[in-house]
Amino acid sequence: MIENVLEDDEKQYKALQPNFDFLVNGGAESYIASIKVQGGDTGPQNMEVYVSNVMDSWTLVKKYSSSKEKVQNLIIPGEHICKFVRLRCVNNIRGGNLVSVKHIQINGLPRD
């Protein structure tokens, strides 16, 4: 887990086309409703959301393009129940590959 992604301060995580992998609800299956992403100075422009119940096999849910909002709210279509979520940042708002992220929040409900 990347330490500074979930802190509410001015720190940023920067990487070339980063993938952010999350274990949701301690590994119990959960319904994923949305993902909120706050970008840094070179925040993500194009993003892809994947879900999985095992780390070896990912299913693409949807591709997203960033709006002009400071915090992106990625609404997950359909009913996706999973244990893992991957957010892949393809490029940044300037068209480059160096992406910075300040905060990521996954919203959903436990299956049980």
Give the residue extent of every domain in the chain: 3-110
Q: Are 71 and 7 in contact (CB under 8 A)?
A: no
What are the φ/ψ torsions at residue 96 (nearest 5 degrees)?
-85, 180
Average pLDDT over residues 41-68: 92
CATH number belonging to domain 3-110: 2.60.120.260
pLDDT band at 4 (very low <50, low <70, confident <90, very high): very low
What are the φ/ψ torsions at residue 9 (nearest 5 degrees)?
-150, -170
Q: Is the pLDDT of residue 54 over 50?
A: yes
Q: Are 21 and 84 in contact (CB under 8 A)?
A: yes
Q: What is the 3-state secondary structure (H, E, C) of 41-81?
A: CCCEEEEEEEEEEECCEEEEEEEEECCCCCEEEEEEEEEEE
Q: What percent of the chain has pLDDT over 90?
A: 58
Q: Whole-number mean pLDDT of the chain?
A: 88
Tell me the pTM: 0.85
pLDDT band at 52 (very low <50, low <70, confident <90, very high): very high
